[in-house]
Structure 1
Amino acid sequence: MTQRLAAEKMGVSDRWVRSLLAQMETRGDAVVVHGLRGRESNRRIAEETKTKAMALLKSPDWHDFGPTFASQQLAKRHKIGVSKETLRQWMMADGIWESHSRKVKEAHPWRPRRSHYGELVQWDTSDHDWLEGRGEPVRYLVRMIDDATSRSWGRFVWHDGTRENMGVLWEYVERFGRAVDYYTDRDSMFAVPPRPGESRQQQREADRLTQIGRALRELGIGWIAAYSPQAKGRVERSFSTDQDRLIKELRLAKVKTMQAANEFLEKEYWPDWNERFTKAPRGKQDLHRPLPEGCDLAAALSHVESRVIANDYTFAFAGKRYQIARDDLRSGMKRQSLRVELRLSGELKARYEGRYLQISECGQRPPAAPKARSGKPVRKDHNAGGKSRWMDGFWNKPSPPLWQIIGDAQ
């Protein structure tokens, strides 16, 4: 075999074949073995770095970290740059991670993302022990996630109620503007349950709204109801991520209070989430809208009820009576309805025909005095409630002859 033919079969140059032949005289067949075989790679991670990383992963605060999240947190908090696959091999060799194949789950119809940022926002609450029993009981995370981009915002709250959810909506509108539509479940905060025997058509015609539904309508925001958890799968899956990542990050940050947890969300978690997981929308236009001129966000995001003005220019609300100031009195107000707003700040406002009134609490109305009875006292046995006994035996008594009755009358 010629040197040129050998070079073609080996995929090398003729010159390299001649070099190998020259080396065979001194080294023999060992010339075909690569010179780096058996030597450590120049890119090999130092043993000290591996030891430090594994010591952290075996500590109590890191006991449930997976390779991917552990790799990110080691780089962020300890400046240890290790790929997730290298870390996975270390963890498997040390017995703190087991490889497992993913199971095929039931597939649901796929819905494409909306085209524009701000076109649809999914809104939900996750009930979980976020601080794992440390310090204050932080259980409810209210989250809003944009359907087109997965950009998120949310707050920890004490209760999953109307007031708390309105507060999170207030912050979202102030930061980003009014979304076109919100997508939620049919919780009683968002939807009024149908009455027995009421059809869908009758329910739409009745147009009964919850406080949040009324607030969204006043702000010009649409509302869409989800009829299954899978329908709002984007926010449901994000909660699964939160219950894995957020809990561990709160643990590493030693968070123990509601205030500290919300500060961590705002300064650490949401910026990192939005940088790591958001997607570019198909459309370039941001559909979030600013508040229209003259729109009072505090008035819309409040508990609103309608009350009737009494003849003494007072109205009742929450078991108390309130007096309208004399300077705000107008003719024709009596027996008319006014709008009462209990703001998120606890302040009470009353609005009549588009104008806010000065009001003051006047306490409970005294009970009406009983009417004085006039004339003779009523006999206690009078009629006896329809059970008088004066007719008992009347028809059993014998009557005198007719001629005797006539004679007595004359």
Structure 2
Amino acid sequence: MDTITMSGKEAPRPGMLEASCDERITNGEAAVALHLTVRQVQRLKGRYREGGAAGLVHRGRGQPSPQRLADPVRAQIATLMATVYAGFTDAHLTEKLREDHGLAVSRPTVRRIRRRLGRPATRDHRARPHRQRRLREAAAGSLVQIDGSPLVRDDRHWTLAEELQGPRHPTHLGRILQERGVGFIAAHSPQAQGRVERLWQPLQDRLVSELRLRGISTRADANAFLPAFLADFNRRFTVPPRTPTAVWRRPPRTLAQILSCRYSCAWPGITPSPSGRAGCSCRAPRSASPTSPPAPQSAADQGMTFSLTHTYDILTDHRHRSRVCAGSEARSRPAGRAAGGPDRVLG
């Protein structure tokens, strides 16, 4: 006994067509029951009389698709997948096959070939939870990503001294951003969640695969290859801004003073003012302006040197200034001068 495989749409057709052939129902009634036209019912009745129920099966079932990839091409892709491009993701391998080997195949085709070979995926693809996507910034210069820089420290981490003190003083970078009116998105906030991680996934995966493909195993060779890799990466994944006009600001004239590290330290004496008066010993802020160090030769040399310079906003705490200077004036004020006179004004 032969087995005939039919789809859910084809299964009710033999009974309805047999009833129509026996003239128990009309062609119109069979067409309404099968959701077909009368003309198509007549065509199916002819195929049923010639071949029975087997004649109603779709004739293309079990036949290879005319658009199917040729077997030699499939074998070539399987060989490259197991040897040269081992460890590549499906999307990365599809790009390499199209650009380097002239094989215009799709990513689903590469995925099906990989699954038939029994090779697992490079990364585990899980169903992503629903989230509302935020729009990208409209223009260049609206958002700058600084995560991963060893010279930048401005995050939500509080030291023990800051927690005991209560209000948190900003870091050097935070103070610079506040002075220039630049907003800051801290890590672990909803706005910053996953931004860097989504960038690292394709960046690190592709870089490792490209280095392995070219046989690069030294740091010098990797650094020499990095500019070409970044240019190709940006060409593939860069999204043009919605607004063509950039929103970068013009640097102010006091940029060197703004980009400085300020510390609170004790001075033995304040620099004399233009009027010739010198201040007393008290605590006042000083700034460390970054100089231009030579190019670092190793990871240990990637530091920044500073030179201490004076600032114009010294003695910001007036209560502390009055308290400290009162004792100094009592000892140094000449006879006949009243307390609170001009000698209390610091230059």
With the length of structure 1 as denominator, give the TM-score of the two structures: 0.48
Counterpart secondary structure, 1:251: helix
The whole-number CA distance in structure 1 between the counterparts of 2:104 and 2:154 is 40
Matched, 1:7 2:31: yes
Q: CA deviation at 1:94?
A: 1.0
Q: Which has the larger radius of gyration?
A: 1
C-alpha distance after superposition, 1:191-241 (max 9, x if no partner): x8352772322x34xx5x33x345444554333443689964321343244
Which letter maps to 2:234? W
| Higher alpha-carbon deviation: 284-293 or 300-309 | 300-309
The 1:229/1:27 distance shift into structure 2, 3 A limit, reads closer
Residues 154 and 174 of structure 2 are in contact (CA less than 8 Å); yes or no, is this contact kept in structure 1? no
Gaps of 5+ in 2: 1-24, 295-304, 313-347
Partner of 2:223 in structure 1? Answer: 259
1:215–1:300 CA contact under 8 A, matched in 2? yes
Could you tell me which of 311, 320, 343 is aligned with 2:291?
Answer: 343
Say which structure is richer in strand: 1
Residues 40 and 232 (structure 1 numbering): CA distance in 2 closer, same or farther, change over 3 Å? closer
Match of 1:294 in 2: 253
Q: What CA RMSD, in Å, does the superposition of the two structures yield over aligned residues?
A: 4.9
Mapped partners of 2:37, 2:46: distance in 1: 15
- Aligned partner of 1:247 among 200, 208, 232: 208
CA distance in 2, matches of 1:258, 1:219: 38
Q: In the TM superposition, what is the alpha-carbon distance from 1:263 to its structure 2 partner?
A: 0.6
Give the counterpart of 2:155 among 185, 199, 224.
185
Q: Which residue of structure 2 aligns with residue 82 of structure 1?
A: 105
Distance 1:66 1:100, change over 3 A: closer
Secondary structure (helix, strand or coil) at the match of 2:147 reads strand
1:67-100 deviation digits (Å, cap 9, x = unpaired):
3443344334434333333322221211212699
Equivalent positions of 1:164-179 (< 5 A) are none
Q: Which runs of 5+ in 1 are unaligned?
A: 126-141, 143-160, 166-182, 314-329, 355-410
- What is aligned with 1:234? 195
Q: How does 1:2-151 map to 2 (within 5 A)?
A: 2-22=26-46, 27=51, 29-59=53-83, 61-97=84-120, 113=134, 116-117=137-138, 121-125=144-148, 142=149
Flag the 1:87–1:265 CA change in 2: closer, same or farther, 3 A: closer
Classify 1:29/1:306 alpha carbon distance in 2 versus 1 (closer, same or farther; 3 Å): closer
Q: Give the structure-2-normalised TM-score.
A: 0.55
- C-alpha separation in 2, matches of 1:100 and 1:266: 22
Q: Aligned residue for 1:270?
A: 234
In structure 2, do the counterparts of structure 1 residues 334 and 349 end up closer, same or farther at CA, with 3 Å as the change threshold?
farther
Which structure has more relative contact order (CA 8 Å, sep 6+)? It is 1
* In 2, Cα distance between equivalents of 1:104 and 1:22: 49
